Amino acid sequence: MIWGRSARVTAVLASSAVFVAAIGTFRIASNHGQRVRLTAPPEQPIVTTEAPTTTASTEVPTTEAPTTAPPPPTTAAPTTAPPTTAKPRPVVKAVPKVTVPAVPSAAAFHGLGTWIDVYDWTATYTNNNPQISEADIDHMAQVGVQTLYVQASRADNPDDVMEPERLRPLIDRAHAKGMRVVAWYLPTLEDPAHDLARMLAMAKLPVEGLGVDIEARNVSDVNDRNQRLIALSADLRKALPKLAIAAIVLPPVVLEVVNTNYWPNFPWKAIAGSYDLWMPMTYWTNRTQSSGYRDAYRYTSENISRMRTDLGLPNAIVHPIGGIGDKTTAADDDAYLKAASEAHAVGGSVYDWRTTAPDTWSHLQGFHAP
């Protein structure tokens, strides 16, 4: 992600690649090593109203016979009974069954994740020296990673999916190790049809979800940019109704407190219906101590709270992204974990794999979903 990559100390500081569901519970480790059980935000119940039915009684009222027999009739009874007309039985129409559309499962975003981008795994953007191999996938599994988030395309590359001959073995290895895979992409919005085609091509990979990295400001006119984002989001949702799609979004604190001119009037509510899960880039390492937001707990908590308010979805499914890895301390990770657990986040991850210090993984284990 541009947002994270700009702060990352690697050999490719100039990159623009950058790189969030919610049924069930997972366990979070406290600072003291204790584990608490968290409950995901409640979902709205589906209420099925059946047509009321009335069952006619099968009993027939009876009247006791008199003890004294009545006198015989003086006129003979007719031999033929008078014609009777039976009342027509009412026609009861069957109540049609209502089919509720299947909601894409956000399970791929649950638990502990990690991130790689094209500056990690491709030959194209590493001067033919990729830093991620199948051995790294094995290592991810060993430290408890449950979902791999991989940048599968870039807008400035001629291919819809980059280096599939290198990418597919990484995906297959992750699956073999019991991990899920989410492919992510950063749309520039300069050519929304081009962006959509890229993501639809990525959806054909054997992945469990897509992530849309919403942060590019290539379109300078804010109103135009917002309309393009709204339309692209709706088109993607319509094209992929059964695939879980996450919005990877700028932190609301940046947009509403730190720099209100960065992306004014971000269309939170207008895109709310297009995504299954929200992944705010809560990179506390991008903030200064004097701002008060270098505090991982405060920054994570406030971003989640503001985002849910902006969306108008108090129970929006959230997977906050922490970081940046090589500027984060174990204390930061503990505070981040605490904030995420209190907000009932379904998972967590630090950007990115190569910058996350080996000794910090033990502090992220609380994100591990059962």
Query: Does the structure show a pLDDT above 60 at 78?
Result: no
Per-residue pLDDT band at 68 (split at 50, 70, 90): very low
Q: Residue 296 sits in which domain range?
A: 2-22+107-367
Encoded tokens for 254? 């940046």
Confidence of residue 1 (pLDDT cuts 50, 70, 90): confident
**Has residue 39 got a pLDDT over 60?**
no
290 domain residue, yes or no: yes
Per-residue pLDDT, 104: 77
Q: What is the pLDDT of residue 81?
A: 46
Average pLDDT, the chain: 82
pLDDT at 3: 62
Q: Which residue has the higher pLDDT, 311 or 52?
A: 311
Residue 4 banded pLDDT, cuts 50, 70, 90: low
Query: Regarding predicted confidence, which is higher, 212 or 39?
Result: 212
Query: What would the pLDDT profile of 218-238 be if each residue is shown by its tens digit?
Result: 999 999 999 999 999 999 999
121, HSE (Cβ side, Cα atoms, 13 Å): 28
Q: Is the pLDDT of residue 63 over 60?
A: no
pLDDT tens, position by position, 121-149? 999 999 999 999 999 999 999 999 999 99
On the question of pLDDT at 13 being above 70, the answer is: no
Q: Would 63 be classed as within a structural domain? A: no
The C-alpha angle with vertex 344 and arms to 340 and 345, in degrees rounded to 5, equals: 55
Average pLDDT over residues 34-45: 38
Which positions ≥6 away from 25 have C-beta within 8 Å? 37, 38, 39, 40, 370
Does 89 map to a domain?
no
| 57 lies in some domain | no
Judge whether 152 and 183 are in contact, CB under 8 Å: yes
In the predicted structure, residue 323 carries a pLDDT above the cut 70 = yes
Q: What is the pTM of this model?
A: 0.76
How many Å from the N-terminal Cα to the C-terminal Cα in the chain?
29
- 3-state SS, the chain, equals CHHHHCCCCCCCCCCCCCCCCCCCEEEEECCCCCEEEEECCCCCCCCCCCCCCCCCCCCCCCCCCCCCCCCCCCCCCCCCCCCCCCCCCCCCCCCCCCCCCCCCCCHHHCEEEEEECHHHHCCCCCCCCCCCCHHHHHHHHHCCCCEEEEECCCCCCCCCCCCHHHHHHHHHHHHHCCCEEEEEECCCCCCHHHHHHHHHHHHCCCCCEEEEEECCCCCCCHHHHHHHHHHHHHHHHHHCCCCEEEEEECCHHHHHHHCCCCCCCCCHHHHHHHCCEEEEECCHHHCCHHHCCCCHHHHHHHHHHHHHHHHCCCCCCECCEEECHHHCCHHHHHHHHHHHHHCCCCEEEEECCCCCCHHHHHHHHHHCCC
Look at residues 315, 362, 314, 369 and name the one whose alpha carbon lies nearest to residue 346.
Answer: 369
Q: Is residue 219 part of a domain?
A: yes
Residue 126 lies in a domain: yes
| pLDDT score for 193 | 98
Six-digit token string for 360: 């910090």
Structural domains in the chain (count) = 1
Contact assessment for residue 146 and residue 179, using Cβ atoms and an 8 Å cutoff: yes
Q: What pLDDT, on a 0 to 100 scale, did the predictor assign at position 5?
A: 60
Residue 306 lies in a domain: yes
The domain that holds 336 is classified in CATH as: 3.20.20.80
Decide if 74 is inside a domain: no
pLDDT at 105: 82
